[in-house]
Amino acid sequence: MSGLFTLQTPLVELILRAAVIYFFLLLVMRVIDRHEFGQLTPFNLILLLIISESISGALTAGDDSLIAGLVSASTLLTLSVLISIRQYKSPWIRKIVSPGALKVIDDGKIIEKSLRRELMTRDDLIERLALFECSSPGHPVHRTPAREIETVRVAYIENDGDISALTYPESRQHQAAAEGEKTE
């Protein structure tokens, strides 16, 4: 019980370890493809569990005290908040931490270069589009037919791995709505 509140590792070392691991994982997540984290598959869950187990000892330097855990967790949370604030204020930081959307379909044609960049197959894209729900204000939600890629005017992989798409019928509806607003 006495070791519960006694640090066995210097405070500065715990903070430094947590910061190094945070920035390392941030870099790894930035390098790994967006679509890998868009949906949590069993493989991704196993990977996250193994990563957390493999770094847990390095995070606290083997210090099992409650204080060491609280210092490490506080450091990670503080860094997360600070990075969020910096992203909000700095486009440069935002570009480094959160990649912009990547166009994967343009005018009904798949952009193969973008798929290669994300290590995404055509089948992966079609599957993700089948799950995508398109909606616009005042119009019912419908499914994008995956077998009809040519009906998709534009589609993007967002920085969180989700797919955003706009089909030609929706595009026409948006144009008509915009023209209606102009005449009123």
Any idea which of 14-23, 61-70, 106-115, 131-140 has the lowest mean pLDDT? Answer: 131-140
Mean pLDDT value across residues 63-78: 89
Same domain, residue pair 131 and 64: no
pLDDT band with cut points at 50, 70 and 90 for residue 33: low
- In this prediction the pTM is 0.62
107, two tokens? 């005018």
Q: How many CB atoms lie within 10 A of CB 68?
A: 23
Same domain, residue pair 63 and 112: no
Mean pLDDT value across residues 161-182: 68
For residue 94, the model assigns a pLDDT of 82
Determine contact, residues 162/172, Cβ cutoff 8 Å: no
Same domain, residue pair 109 and 44: no
Same domain, residue pair 11 and 52: yes
Count of domains in the chain? 2
User: Is pLDDT of 174 > 80?
Assistant: no
Determine contact, residues 104/114, Cβ cutoff 8 Å: yes
Alpha helix stretches (DSSP H) within 32-121: 34-38, 42-60, 66-89, 91-97, 112-118
For residue 127, the model assigns a pLDDT of 79
Same domain, residue pair 159 and 144: yes
Q: Which domain holds residue 19?
A: 2-97
Same domain, residue pair 129 and 87: no
Same domain, residue pair 39 and 112: no
Task: Give the CATH number of the domain where residue 171 resides.
Answer: 3.30.240.20
For residue 182, the model assigns a pLDDT of 58
User: Is pLDDT of 130 > 70?
Assistant: yes
Same domain, residue pair 46 and 84: yes
Same domain, residue pair 8 and 75: yes
pLDDT band with cut points at 50, 70 and 90 for residue 141: very low
Same domain, residue pair 23 and 78: yes
